[in-house]
Amino acid sequence: MDTVAPPWSQTVGDEGRWPLGADPLDTAPMISPELFEIERKRVFGRVWLKVGRVHEIPTPGDYKVKRLDVARTSAILVRGKDGAIRAFHNICPHRGNKVIPEDGNETFGRARANVLSCRFHGWVFNTDGPIRAIPREANFGAIDKACLGLRPIHCDIWEGFIFVCLDETPRQTLTEYLGEIGTHFAGYPYGEATTSFRYSSVLNCNWRVALYAFTEGYHVPTIHAGTFPSLATLEQTSFRLFGPHSTSTLYVPPVEGVKPTPATAAFGGVLRSSDLHGPHLDKLPAEINPTRRSDFQFEFPTFFPNFLLHLGAGNGYPGIAFFTHQFWPLSYNRTLWEGTNYFRPPRNLAERVAIAHINALHRNGWSEDTSTMENSQEALESGVLPQMVLMDEELMIRNTHVNLQCCMDTP
């Protein structure tokens, strides 16, 4: 059924009406192994997925191997001699061994002489994919070397973020896939923030349970009451839908009597007063915090299906230019969560220590966030709750949920 939308949602509906309805949402996709298999193929096997940042592989020969368990593969992201970044399946076309053995979910290295070599039988590949050398090639008889290069994965870049699409024939280019949300968030100097701190954890919950927990601000006054009491007055507003993607803005009006701890005040002050690390609201894209409110915390979108980007320009959390979350399905009830804080590089010891403090404080908040998810999964798997109800400010969850179902219904 449709209901009259509150004022903040006027931008997402026609004539102030809900664009997605207000019915409860089915919880079955969060607890069903069978539905997970459909989702794995029809969602993650077809859409564009963020897998890295260009500064992670800055020079020719640098590579990153990214495990993509949801697709039962891993991807080699490598910068070629021409400077271009390409992606390949991490599999040798000879006998199927992994070309680069993995060390965890992300593995970094450098291709010597700009070639990649399979350790099993020594096949050698150029960093742009073609086979370069086959040991004892004469013993193979007639083989078509043109068909024996690394298997490519569609790869493209938006604002320094590396995306791949595992579909053999993508239905859209990356630009088409992102559409207006790509324009909305374009133009910020993301490339200046090359000091990053990445955290990850395997959570015993469905990836949607984890994603949805980070997609709304409704939980903040309760879950973060001890760590971030200043967020008690948080306002989540300016909701916008861009097809399967969505975004909203968080503002935090001052709370009377609430002050940061002495350490946070000191270290935060170092960053806030810095010409480099201080708030740069002027660098935000035009449609993000357009009135440049001083209590702006950050705008955060869901890039469908599993990538969140929080853009605060160093205002909400001192020094943090932006931060990201990503949720990778491992099975129907296990998820790899990855969270990364991005800072501009410190120029001296004071800035380095201040960044370390703010990063640790923010990490502690993430620990609070992830503490709810496994309990949610256990309760959902009881089967007692076949549907979940959402309040107004959980609109982004509804948009993701509805679009995931559309993908799953498309053969």
Does residue 250 share a domain with residue 121?
no
Residue 388 lies in a domain: yes
* Angle made by CA atoms 131, 174, 181, in degrees to the nearest 5: 155
User: Does residue 325 contact residue 214 with C-beta atoms inside 8 Å?
Assistant: yes
Whole-number Å distance between alpha carbons of 380 and 338: 23
Q: What is the mean pLDDT of the chain?
A: 90
What pLDDT shows up at residue 9? 33
For residue 13, give every residue at least 6 positions away whose Cβ sits within 8 Å of its Cβ, in sequence order, or none: 5, 19
User: Does residue 321 contact residue 314 with C-beta atoms inside 8 Å?
Assistant: yes
The CATH number that applies at residue 258 is 3.90.380.10
Whole-number Å distance between alpha carbons of 368 and 373: 10
Task: Inform me whether the pLDDT recorded for 4 exceeds 90.
Answer: no
Q: How confident is the model at residue 39 (pLDDT cuts 50, 70, 90)?
A: very high
Q: How confident is the model at residue 19 (pLDDT cuts 50, 70, 90)?
A: low
Which residue(s) pair with 310 in the sheet? 323
User: Does residue 245 contact residue 302 with C-beta atoms inside 8 Å?
Assistant: yes
Residue 43 lies in a domain: no
Does residue 350 share a domain with residue 225?
yes
Does residue 374 share a domain with residue 227?
yes
Does residue 72 share a domain with residue 210?
no
- Using CA atoms, how far residue 21 sits from 87, 354, 367, in Å, is 40, 46, 33
The CATH number that applies at residue 79 is 2.102.10.10
Does residue 200 share a domain with residue 145?
no
User: Does residue 386 contact residue 31 with C-beta atoms inside 8 Å?
Assistant: no
pLDDT digit string, tens, across residues 225-240: 777 777 777 888 899 9
Range with lowest mean pLDDT among 39-43, 256-260, 345-349, 353-357: 256-260
Range of 125's domain?
56-154
Residue 149 lies in a domain: yes
Does residue 397 share a domain with residue 255?
yes
Task: Inform me whether the pLDDT recorded for 16 exceeds 50.
Answer: no
Structure token digits, residue 405: 């179902």
Backbone angle region of 154, left / alpha / beta, with phi > 0 → left and psi within -120 to 50 → alpha: beta
Q: How many domains in the chain?
A: 2
For residue 312, give every residue at least 6 positions away whose Cβ sits within 8 Å of its Cβ, in sequence order, or none: 296, 297, 298, 299, 320, 321, 322, 323
Does residue 196 share a domain with residue 149?
no
